[in-house]
Amino acid sequence: MFTKILIANRGEIACRVAATARRMGIKTVAVYSEVDANAKHVAVCDEAVLIGPAPAKESYLRADKIIEVALATGAQAIHPGYGFLSENEGFAEACAKAGLAFIGPPASAIRAMGSKSAAKALMETARVPLVPGYHGDDQDAGLLQSQADKIGYPVLLKASAGGGGKGMRIVERSADFKSALESCKREAINSFGDDKVLVEKYLTRPRHIEIQVFADTHGGCVYLFERDCSVQRRHQKVLEEAPAPDMTAERRAAMGEAAVAAAKAVGYVGAGTVEFIANQDGSFYFMEMNTRLQVEHPVTEMITGLDLVEWQLRVAAGEKLPLRQEQLRINGHAIEARVYAENPEKGFLPSIGTLRHMRTPAAVTFELGGGTDGPAAVRIDSGVREGDAISPFYDPMIAKLIIWGEDRAQALQRMAQALSEYQIVGLASNIAFLHRLVTSKPFSGADLDTGLIERHHAALFPSAGQAGLPVLALAVAALLGDEKKSAGGDPWGDSDGWRMNGTLRRQLDFADDGNAYPLTVSYGSDSWLLELGTNQALLQVTARQGSRLSLKLGDHAVHGDVVRDGETFHVFSDGKHAVLNWADPLAHAGESEAEGGRLTAPMPGKIVAVLTQAGATVEAGTPLLIMEAMKMEHTIAAPGPGVVEDLLYAVGDQVAEGAQLLAFKLAETSAA
């Protein structure tokens, strides 16, 4: 076995690999970019070496630099994690040349599966079932269009080199094909440096079911069952579970054997995932093979009780697979939720910022291998801590929350509870959305397909209700407590002796996205009287520790966390996150309103297309610019009918977050 390995990655997966290495007594070397100097993965490894500036191209994708560091630090092997260099055949080859073990498949297997087109051609000869489509080398636009016409709409355009749900376009009708092809090729060249595409029949209501395979260098190859990853947004997984609901033993064996056949066809070694798209009737087709450890591998670990990173290390060190197919068993049910820094209400737009406040559900310590108490019920794989930032340079995943239960119902219940205990302030996250998703009828009823989120959009995005008095009381208590503290008094000891400007009654105006809450607070001897319209209750603070508050509101006990950011109060209680703004009468005196019609960059990025010209008169919603940020395209559209007065950026320009992108004048709307 190796005594020291280098981990060529960052974030949660680098921490995950380091945890197993530590348990096995293997020393770890981290590499990091300038913005990651204080990152968690640097802290959890035994050594860490700076390899370059923040952009991945200049750091985590610098194969030469990473190999140099491995040699200099005496590492014998490199674990690439996922993303970055994990599916880069040149890197696997360079490792071998340098005398280092690459903890992954041979370069030839990566090459064979690296292009979705070439992989499909190969699978065709291995008699693995394929989605009908065109995956040839001829990329003539006219030919691609005629192939799409022949397949029949809707079709899916896919970047052959694609990954992470990027570089895909659904085309509903022939007339839309040309522009979809252009946009797909543009994203493909930007994200993957290769604009080759394939065309596939777009299946309606399919499920994404994938098989975990493992092969060793002695000819052994097994499958570690399936994962259902149907719940996706933007073709990227949000929830993953194992086993797949409604899976029969026959279908599991058929898919497992097809996956093993696919792996054997390319001389596979190590951990890999064969992704299938399945129809509701049970038929399934090969989609692609991911030649690395998958983001969602923990659900497989939970139901099998195995440590897949340990298996990877053993296989890379030349050992045989620890178990044979007939020794593998499924125990219970596991679900993973990807906690992302993103805004589900705004089309899942990635969000960046600092994790000012982060409280995670109580995790049952993750114990792989030797644990005798059975699987952990709650596992959190995270690469960030409170105070860390999610930057625009890398993937916006904050953590993975992985839950085990005796069965799906128990896993779901534990997941809902864990999500309700997860608190984040400082950036937008999908936590509340995940909670609605896992408790929704379609998901809890296992009515799964890849269109679940879109089809149930209305139910999953209910209009925000009114904040209740308990939530408002928590915000009020935090505010009054802060004032008292800054007035130098003992916060909760003697509210009777303290008066605000000599008044006993005071108005506090709070508001959220849709509602205003004009509250009145009357100071009593040992409590406050809180009033909102005809609603009123006596409020007493029973305890406050950090963000945690306990109140008595009338005869109810209320608990929650309040995190304050200036005049914004984040209230976490009863599993919900409310954001309340306090209209401080003393703040913002003299500030003027921003003028309408400013179109600004939602995040730092690059302009990839300008779709309008100065002087153009446009309708509401007309696409004006396309910018690329966090490896995705974002279309900037006209906020209303109006005139483009000036273009401020050209294709290729970098823009800062909040930068004005163009001068736009909204048309005067005639008064009603």
How many CA atoms within 13 Å lie on the side-chain side of 147?
22
- 115 forms part of the interface with ligand ADP (CB under 6 A): no
Whether 333 and 408 have beta carbons less than 8 Å apart is answered as yes
From the CB of 127, what's the least distance to ligand ADP, in Å?
A: 19
Report the residue number, 8 or 215, with the smaller CB distance to ligand ADP. 8
Report d(CA 499, CA 484) in Å as an integer: 10
**Per-residue mark of binding to ligand ADP, 152-191 (x: CB under 6 A):** ----x-x---xxxx--------------------------
Report d(CA 80, CA 66) in Å as an integer: 10
Report the residue number, 120 or 436, with the smaller CB distance to ligand ADP. 120
From the CB of 286, what's the least distance to ligand ADP, in Å?
A: 10
Residue tagged 């915000």 (tokens): 475
From the CB of 290, what's the least distance to ligand ADP, in Å?
A: 5
Please tell me whether the peptide bond between 243 and the residue prior to it is cis, using omega within 30 degrees of 0.
yes
C-alpha distances in Å from residue 292, one per residue of 27, 78, 211, 312, 584: 22, 13, 13, 10, 53
Whether 170 and 156 have beta carbons less than 8 Å apart is answered as yes
As a dihedral over the C-alpha atoms of residue 135, residue 139, residue 141, residue 143, rounded to 10 degrees, the angle is -60
> Of 275, 301, 388, 561, which one interacts with ligand ADP (CB under 6 A)?
275
Report the residue number, 119 or 551, with the smaller CB distance to Mg ion. 119
**Per-residue mark of binding to ligand ADP, 74-93 (x: CB under 6 A):** --------xxx---------
Counting residues that bind ligand ADP (by CB under 6 A) gives 32
Report d(CA 130, CA 268) in Å as an integer: 20
Q: Which stretch binds ligand ADP (CB under 6 A): 228-236, 410-418, 478-486, 554-562?
A: 228-236
Nearest residue to 665 (alpha-carbon basis) of 579, 575, 598, 571:
598
> Of 247, 277, 399, 532, which one interacts with ligand ADP (CB under 6 A)?
277
Report d(CA 578, CA 553) in Å as an integer: 18
From the CB of 210, what's the least distance to Mg ion, in Å?
A: 8
- 102 forms part of the interface with ligand ADP (CB under 6 A): no
From 62, 111, 207, 292, active-site residue = 292
Which among ligand ADP, Mg ion, none contacts residue 235 (Cβ within 5 to 8 A by kind)? ligand ADP
C-alpha distances in Å from residue 517, one per residue of 462, 508, 533, 535, 541: 20, 8, 9, 11, 21
Q: Which stretch binds ligand ADP (CB under 6 A): 233-241, 411-419, 586-594, 612-620?
A: 233-241
Report d(CA 599, CA 602) in Å as an integer: 9
From the CB of 200, what's the least distance to ligand ADP, in Å?
A: 4
Which among Mg ion, ligand ADP, none contacts residue 577 (Cβ within 5 to 8 A by kind)? none
Please state at what angle helix 116-125 crosses helix 107-114, rounded to 10 degrees. Answer: 100
Q: Which stretch binds ligand ADP (CB under 6 A): 46-54, 178-186, 292-300, 415-423?
A: 292-300
Whether 103 and 309 have beta carbons less than 8 Å apart is answered as no
What are the beta bridge partners of residue 336?
240, 402
From the CB of 332, what's the least distance to ligand ADP, in Å?
A: 22
Report the residue number, 288 or 342, with the smaller CB distance to ligand ADP. 288
Is 292 annotated as catalytic?
Answer: yes
- 232 forms part of the interface with ligand ADP (CB under 6 A): yes
How many CA atoms within 13 Å lie on the side-chain side of 372?
0
Report the residue number, 227 or 333, with the smaller CB distance to ligand ADP. 227
C-alpha distances in Å from residue 387, one per residue of 43, 424, 614, 646: 14, 11, 43, 40
Where are any strands of DSSP class E within 145-206? 155-159, 168-171, 197-201
> Of 95, 122, 203, 222, which one interacts with ligand ADP (CB under 6 A)?
203
Residues 432-461 that bind ligand ADP (CB under 6 A): 450
- 208 forms part of the interface with ligand ADP (CB under 6 A): yes
Which among ligand ADP, Mg ion, none contacts residue 236 (Cβ within 5 to 8 A by kind)? ligand ADP
Which among ligand ADP, Mg ion, none contacts residue 206 (Cβ within 5 to 8 A by kind)? ligand ADP
Nearest residue to 295 (alpha-carbon basis) of 362, 236, 341, 361:
236
C-alpha distances in Å from residue 249, one per residue of 245, 328, 570: 12, 14, 48
Identity of residue 258? A
- 206 forms part of the interface with ligand ADP (CB under 6 A): yes
Q: Which stretch binds ligand ADP (CB under 6 A): 45-53, 120-128, 293-301, 576-584?
A: 293-301
- 395 forms part of the interface with ligand ADP (CB under 6 A): yes
Whether 105 and 119 have beta carbons less than 8 Å apart is answered as no
Which among ligand ADP, Mg ion, none contacts residue 208 (Cβ within 5 to 8 A by kind)? ligand ADP
Which among Mg ion, ligand ADP, none contacts residue 202 (Cβ within 5 to 8 A by kind)? ligand ADP
Q: Which helix (H) or strand (E) holds 70?
A: helix 63-73
What are the beta bridge partners of residue 582?
510
Report d(CA 161, CA 159) in Å as an integer: 5
Residues 264-303 that bind Mg ion (CB under 5 A): 275
- The rounded Cα 588 to chain-centroid distance in angstroms is 36
C-alpha distances in Å from residue 385, one per residue of 96, 389, 433: 35, 9, 22
- 388 forms part of the interface with ligand ADP (CB under 6 A): no
Counting residues that bind Mg ion (by CB under 5 A) gives 1
Query: How many residues belong to the chain?
Result: 672
Report the residue number, 164 or 640, with the smaller CB distance to ligand ADP. 164
From the CB of 20, what's the least distance to ligand ADP, in Å?
A: 18
Report the residue number, 225 or 572, with the smaller CB distance to ligand ADP. 225
Residues 216-275 that bind Mg ion (CB under 5 A): 275
From the CB of 110, what's the least distance to ligand ADP, in Å?
A: 13
> Of 41, 237, 436, 634, which one interacts with ligand ADP (CB under 6 A)?
237
Contacting residues toward Mg ion, per CB under 5 A:
275
Contacting residues toward ligand ADP, per CB under 6 A:
82-84, 131, 156, 158, 162-165, 192, 200-203, 206, 208, 232, 235-237, 275, 277, 287-288, 290, 294-296, 395, 397, 450
- Active-site positions read 292
